[in-house]
Structure 1
Amino acid sequence: MLIDIRTLSLIFCITTILEVLILLVQYKYQEGSSFTGFLWWIAGIALIGLNFLILFLQRYLHLGLFAAVIENYVLVTGMFFLSHGVLLFFHEYKKSVHSFVFAGIYIVSTTIAYFFGNIAFPGAISAFSIALFSLIAAISVINEKSYLNKRLKTISAGTFIFNSLFFMVHAILWLIIPGQSSPGFPSIFQQFSYLLLFINSTIWTFAFIFLMNHKVMRETIISKEKYTLMFETIPDAVLISRLDDGLLTEVNQGFTLLSGYTASDIKGKSSLDINLWYDPVDRSRFMVILTETGSIENMEIQFRKKNGRLLIGLLSARAIDIDGVPHALTVVRDITNRKKMEEKLRENEQKYRFLTENSGDVIWHINKSLRIDYISPADEQIRGFKREEVIGTQIWSIFKPEGIQLVREKIEHHREKEEVGNNMMVSRFEIEQRCKDGSWIWTEIVAAPHYDNYGNLVGYHGISRDCSERKQLLDQLYKQATIDELTQAPNRRHFMNLAEIELRRAKRYHHPLSLVAIDFDLLKEINDTYGHMAGDRALSVFTKIVNQIIRDVDVLGRIGGDEFLLLLPETDSPGAALVMERIQDVLASSPVYIGKKNFNISVSAGIASIQDWSDTLEDLYNRADSALYESKDQGGKKITWQNLRK
């Protein structure tokens, strides 16, 4: 007697639908967990149930060949979804185009076969595909070592293998004994295949439910282990307490290290019992805020350690429920040392700010763009600018062109030093700075580069001080040391230094140079006749007249008394004689007035020029002095150079 295959299909369909509903309820219940591939598995079981439903409906719809087509497609797709879900669940699936290629080949080949009325070939291909997907699922189950115990792995893998072998035989039988040619045997084999699918799908359903529960338990254990590890290894103090009475239920090792209280010390006690709050009012404030908002972020609270010492903590808390009882999960970070450092830093900042703001020197900082981003109030006292008028301006606006060039050279020099590893170079120089009233003052600057903790250049900082008075004093001392007070001409020492420089240059480039020794005629008679004031007047007038005649490169110096030396670069002896002739002509036509009286000045001169490139300044001076004496011996008002006279 044959079993009614249609009725059996309906029973299998209803049972499979119930299995799908059970799986969906399980999935919904475990919604918080991650079950990759679960929906694929459910879809596969559902398609197997749909296959049973199609088989049952053939009694009423009489779909003929079309029913066989749909039945094969649905069953193959269901087994594909099932195996794909297994691969995803065990994290063995790798994205590729193989599945799409296989699906394309399967659909095209079976459709062509059906089109030509061949039922055996599509049936064989479908059975072979189901066998292949079952084998893939079996291999995935066998390779899994994390979730399955030995018995469940054997049962699950065994059903997939048996299913694969059965449908492999089924595929061979489709090719050997076509379904249309043997009406008896395929019907019995078909019934057995449906029964096998039903039994296997039921086993797979309950196996998957077991896997889900097992995975949830495993994830719960892992989560608890992670929580315990985090709870115990966090360096901050973590404590859990009941909200209503503050009873401490759990503390970590960080709490013990921070407060000195061990887990046994706080057992059955509240934070008030162990006198943890330095001020109990803070506990009340903590309770009000946490109850109203449900959380607290970074609240500074003072606590008392077990040894009685003060502890400043940064407290964060969350309101949580444990078995329906409100608790507080609190994390406290020790910031005692940080607060002490902040206080020390604040004291130092106040001290340094006082020194900076009240210093007589200008303290400044400029950024990498050479814009001023800080300057002390002393700048207003020195240059007249208010701080807000200076902040943000570039430094070039306060210097003269030559000052700008000097600063650029200093910066470039610093960069060169930086390239060879010298980052601590301090520069000291003097420069003129512009004042608000348009005047200029000399300042002394001490500057150094400013780097951050990573060695990157931030800018430059330094000190400026007004050195105008010192500069004027030095200029005055220099002038006194180098300039004759009466005539304002270089004195003997300064003239000789200038002459040595010009002589070296002339000898280096083989250029002519002449030295003229000049002496007043009858200066003693002028002093005796008109007084010493007249003699001084004669010396000053002579210096002014000569300086108006000679070039900028020429130098007139007073050697002593009424003796002068005139240095003429790029000039030979005849050229020097022409200069002296012009001087004598102007002196002759320029009387010196003393009251209502006047007199004329006359001088004698001796000229010496470079004759040999080994000549020294002393050689030139001796020859010029000899030539001068020759002019004096001739009665004065003469110009003599070497052995020639005029």
Structure 2
Amino acid sequence: MDVSTTVILVALVNVTLALALLIQSRFSVRPPGMRLWAAGQTLMAAGLIISAFRGTSLAGKIAIPLWQTTTIAGFVLLYVGILRFFGRKEHWAPLIALLAVLTVWSSFFTFVVFLVPPRGAAVYVCAASLVVACARALRRYAEPAVRASARYLTWVFTALGVIYLVLAVVQAARWDSPQGMFANSPIYTTAYVATVVGTVLWVVGLISMVNERLQASVAAQAKNMTRIFETSPDCAIISRLSDGMMVNVNEGFTRVTGYSRTDAIGRSSLDLGLWLTPSDRNRLIEHLQPTGECENLPIVLRRKDGSTVECVLSASTLEVDGTPHMISLTRDVTEQRALEAQ
């Protein structure tokens, strides 16, 4: 495979992966750092495209430091994105200094002394430093919820760091060669293959890490909602909207109505005779229809022992496995009403 074809293929891979990250960010909660990852992949693709124009002419020489600095800038954004994903603040001064030194170095060995190996070695040293920094950040800052993906990414970045360092040594060993390891050599091909495979692996890992955090967040919210539901002093019921069949009740339900959880699950409030006035349920459904919410609807419930309690009911609709349900909170205001009547 010739140089131009390889460059185009690698650039297309980077563009595709950048789009994958952008699409993921649109359908998730947009975690910090994700857009920086996409921007980093885009810069890497841009650097590869610019590299196709390198040569010994003035324009070709200008393309060389521009290509190398742009590519490493992509790695910088990848690293900064990881830091931000974990809520850590980046320090721009050393990162900008790295890019500045690389630009000066690459320009010197392009415009003053035209040698490929010093330029290539510098690029691989910079890339190795940044991917190792990514691995270190993942190892230090990853929370338990994303530990699996972070461990996978740590291995990917560490392996890439080793490969890039080996490539840097190979380049440095050919310091006086005009072409270095580039000229459709096996090492040249290895460098691009490692970059493509590594890039695909790390993007898969980054997306997996985002999804793990999202799943952990959803699970935590569900756990909190369950805790709130179970510990509420009010009568809390989740029931099917179509027929009122109860699928879950809390301890407050037993305190207010006298019915146990076993009495209630699988039966409707009408089956239990909870409504002193059965038409009140139709009134509740009418209140829910416009907005899916109802607040402080006065009702009277009949307890298991036949006594009645004055209550106010608030409810909202929700879907459970695609089926419309209702969650309601009913507060016993019997004593409050008695005090108001005095």
Instruction: Give your verdict on TM over 0.5.
Output: yes
Which residue in 2 is equivalent to 1:38? 34
| Alpha-carbon distance in structure 1 between the residues aligned to 2:322 and 2:166 | 59
Work out which of the residue numbers 95, 99, 122 in structure 2 matches 1:106.
99
Q: What one-letter code is carried by the residue in structure 2 that aligns with 1:54?
A: I
Cα distance change on mapping 1:65 and 1:209 into 2, 3 Å:
same
Work out which of the residue numbers 239, 247, 255 in structure 1 matches 2:245.
247
Give the drift of 1:113.
6.3
Give the drift of 1:316.
1.0
Q: Is 1:275 aligned with 2:268? A: no
Cα distance change on mapping 1:102 and 1:83 into 2, 3 Å:
closer
Asked if structure 2 preserves the Cα contact closer than 8 Å seen for 1:6 and 1:55, the reply is: no
Give the drift of 1:129.
2.5
Asked if structure 1 preserves the Cα contact closer than 8 Å seen for 2:174 and 2:180, the reply is: no
Asked if structure 1 preserves the Cα contact closer than 8 Å seen for 2:153 and 2:206, the reply is: no
Q: What one-letter code is carried by the residue in structure 1 that aligns with 2:49?
A: L
| Alpha-carbon distance in structure 1 between the residues aligned to 2:15 and 2:21 | 10
Work out which of the residue numbers 121, 139, 142 in structure 2 matches 1:142.
139
Give the drift of 1:171.
4.6
Which residue in 2 is equivalent to 1:127? 124
Which residue in 2 is equivalent to 1:417? none
CA deviation vs aligned residue, 1:544-586 (integer Å, no higher than 9, x gap): xxxxxxxxxxxxxxxxxxxxxxxxxxxxxxxxxxxxxxxxxxx
The structure that is strand-richer by fraction is 1
Q: Is 1:329 aligned with 2:322? A: no
Work out which of the residue numbers 190, 193, 206 in structure 2 matches 1:192.
190
Q: Is 1:181 aligned with 2:177? A: yes
Asked if structure 1 preserves the Cα contact closer than 8 Å seen for 2:150 and 2:209, the reply is: no
Asked if structure 1 preserves the Cα contact closer than 8 Å seen for 2:135 and 2:155, the reply is: yes
Which residue in 2 is equivalent to 1:93? 88
| Alpha-carbon distance in structure 2 between the residues aligned to 1:62 and 1:323 | 65
The alignment partner of 2:138 has SS state of helix
Q: Larger deviation: 287-296 or 307-316? A: 287-296
Q: Is 1:64 aligned with 2:60? A: yes
Asked if structure 2 preserves the Cα contact closer than 8 Å seen for 1:234 and 1:254, the reply is: yes
| Alpha-carbon distance in structure 2 between the residues aligned to 1:239 and 1:71 | 63
Cα distance change on mapping 1:137 and 1:105 into 2, 3 Å:
closer
The alignment partner of 1:299 has SS state of strand
| Alpha-carbon distance in structure 1 between the residues aligned to 2:326 and 2:150 | 44
Which residue in 2 is equivalent to 1:156? 153
CA deviation vs aligned residue, 1:148-201 (integer Å, no higher than 9, x gap): 565x555422221232233345555666643x6342534444443222211110
CA deviation vs aligned residue, 1:589-644 (integer Å, no higher than 9, x gap): xxxxxxxxxxxxxxxxxxxxxxxxxxxxxxxxxxxxxxxxxxxxxxxxxxxxxxxx
Cα distance change on mapping 1:112 and 1:135 into 2, 3 Å:
closer
Q: What one-letter code is carried by the residue in structure 1 that aligns with 2:164?
A: F
Give the drift of 1:284.
2.5
The alignment partner of 1:232 has SS state of helix
TM-score, normalised on structure 2?
A: 0.85
Give the drift of 1:328.
2.1
Q: What one-letter code is carried by the residue in structure 2 that aligns with 1:117?
A: V
| Alpha-carbon distance in structure 2 between the residues aligned to 1:132 and 1:50 | 21
Cα distance change on mapping 1:253 and 1:297 into 2, 3 Å:
same
Work out which of the residue numbers 295, 298, 315 in structure 1 matches 2:296.
298
Highest relative contact order (Cα 8 Å, sep 6+), 1 or 2? 2
The structure that is helix-richer by fraction is 2
Which residue in 1 is equivalent to 2:257? 259
Cα distance change on mapping 1:124 and 1:8 into 2, 3 Å:
closer
Asked if structure 1 preserves the Cα contact closer than 8 Å seen for 2:146 and 2:213, the reply is: no
| Alpha-carbon distance in structure 2 between the residues aligned to 1:253 and 1:320 | 21
The alignment partner of 2:266 has SS state of coil
| Alpha-carbon distance in structure 1 between the residues aligned to 2:158 and 2:286 | 64
Q: What one-letter code is carried by the residue in structure 1 that aligns with 2:153?
A: S
Give the drift of 1:48.
2.1
The alignment partner of 2:112 has SS state of coil
Give the drift of 1:51.
2.5
Asked if structure 1 preserves the Cα contact closer than 8 Å seen for 2:249 and 2:265, the reply is: no
Cα distance change on mapping 1:112 and 1:141 into 2, 3 Å:
closer
Asked if structure 2 preserves the Cα contact closer than 8 Å seen for 1:7 and 1:56, the reply is: no
| Alpha-carbon distance in structure 2 between the residues aligned to 1:15 and 1:323 | 38
Cα distance change on mapping 1:153 and 1:267 into 2, 3 Å:
closer
The alignment partner of 1:303 has SS state of strand
Q: What one-letter code is carried by the residue in structure 2 that aligns with 1:220?
A: V
Cα distance change on mapping 1:185 and 1:289 into 2, 3 Å:
closer
CA deviation vs aligned residue, 1:397-447 (integer Å, no higher than 9, x gap): xxxxxxxxxxxxxxxxxxxxxxxxxxxxxxxxxxxxxxxxxxxxxxxxxxx
Asked if structure 2 preserves the Cα contact closer than 8 Å seen for 1:13 and 1:52, the reply is: yes
Give the drift of 1:94.
2.1
The alignment partner of 2:247 has SS state of strand
Root-mean-square deviation over aligned CA pairs: 2.9
Work out which of the residue numbers 67, 73, 87 in structure 1 matches 2:69.
73
Task: Give the structure with higher Rg (CA).
Answer: 1
Cα distance change on mapping 1:293 and 1:206 into 2, 3 Å:
closer
Cα distance change on mapping 1:249 and 1:273 into 2, 3 Å:
same
| Alpha-carbon distance in structure 1 between the residues aligned to 2:15 and 2:106 | 32
Q: What one-letter code is carried by the residue in structure 1 that aligns with 2:331?
A: R
TM-score, normalised on structure 1?
A: 0.47
Cα distance change on mapping 1:7 and 1:239 into 2, 3 Å:
same
Asked if structure 2 preserves the Cα contact closer than 8 Å seen for 1:110 and 1:122, the reply is: no
Q: What one-letter code is carried by the residue in structure 2 that aligns with 1:114?
A: S
Cα distance change on mapping 1:108 and 1:51 into 2, 3 Å:
closer
Cα distance change on mapping 1:5 and 1:217 into 2, 3 Å:
same
Give the drift of 1:104.
4.4
Q: Is 1:84 aligned with 2:77? A: no
Asked if structure 1 preserves the Cα contact closer than 8 Å seen for 2:64 and 2:106, the reply is: no
The alignment partner of 2:264 has SS state of coil
Asked if structure 2 preserves the Cα contact closer than 8 Å seen for 1:239 and 1:248, the reply is: yes
